[in-house]
Amino acid sequence: MAKNLIKAILGIFLLFSVSSCNNDDGGGTITVTPFTLTIDGQQYLPTSIPSAQLSNSGRFMIISAVNTVTDQNITISIGDSTGNSSELTTASYPIDNTDDTSIAYFVNNSTYMTDGSGQVTITTLNTSARTVSGTFQGTVTGTFGTVGTFTLANGEFMDIPYSVQ
């Protein structure tokens, strides 16, 4: 009985000592978010870990980041969903309405899509670890009767795990 009590106390002590550690000299906690973005100058952070899927034999990727608190979703489509273009690699993919690279912003049951301007850049595509990193920016405008425009800037996704379909 005493051994179990000692183990429990040591476990609680270890839990508190590990959870109170950080790398911030100011005493605060450092939070690393794998997906950041500003929408019309306001910071957007997802409430869950972003996800990604690679399909069309490595030619097309979708990255999604959701904030359930604010009812917002950012979906980045990169590459060619149906054709026979080259496999995705570390490169810049312009949003110019000539391929499937685009950004969609969903908020409060409204849909906004890139208007033919912007760019998505894959800076790291680790096929062994199945992670992707990069940057993005663009302008989205309302679709399906939705009116309005938003500027997406300073977008970054870091080591987002992806599945292959």
Work out how many domains the chain is built from and give that number.
Answer: 1
- Residue 20 located in a structural domain: no
How confident is the model at residue 32, as a pLDDT?
52
- Residue 33 located in a structural domain: yes
How confident is the model at residue 146, as a pLDDT?
85
- Residue 54 located in a structural domain: yes
Q: Which among 124, 129, 107 is positioned nearest to 44, based on CA atoms?
A: 107
Model pTM? 0.78
- Residue 96 located in a structural domain: yes
* Residues 134 and 120: beta-carbon distance below 8 Å: yes
- Residue 117 located in a structural domain: yes
Give the separation between CA 49 and CA 131, rounded to whole angstroms: 13
* Residues 126 and 90: beta-carbon distance below 8 Å: no
For the beta carbon of residue 148, count every other beta carbon within 10 angstroms. 11
- Residue 142 located in a structural domain: yes
- Residue 19 located in a structural domain: no
* Residues 95 and 118: beta-carbon distance below 8 Å: yes
For the beta carbon of residue 19, count every other beta carbon within 10 angstroms. 9
- Residue 5 located in a structural domain: no
**pLDDT tens by residue, the chain, 165 residues:** 433 323 333 333 322 333 333 334 444 544 456 999 999 999 999 998 899 999 999 999 999 999 999 999 999 999 988 888 889 999 999 998 776 899 999 998 899 999 888 999 999 999 999 999 999 999 999 998 888 999 999 999 999 999 999
Torsion of CA 11, 13, 16, 22, to 10 degrees: -110
Q: Give the domain range for residue 56.
A: 26-164
How confident is the model at residue 30, as a pLDDT?
44
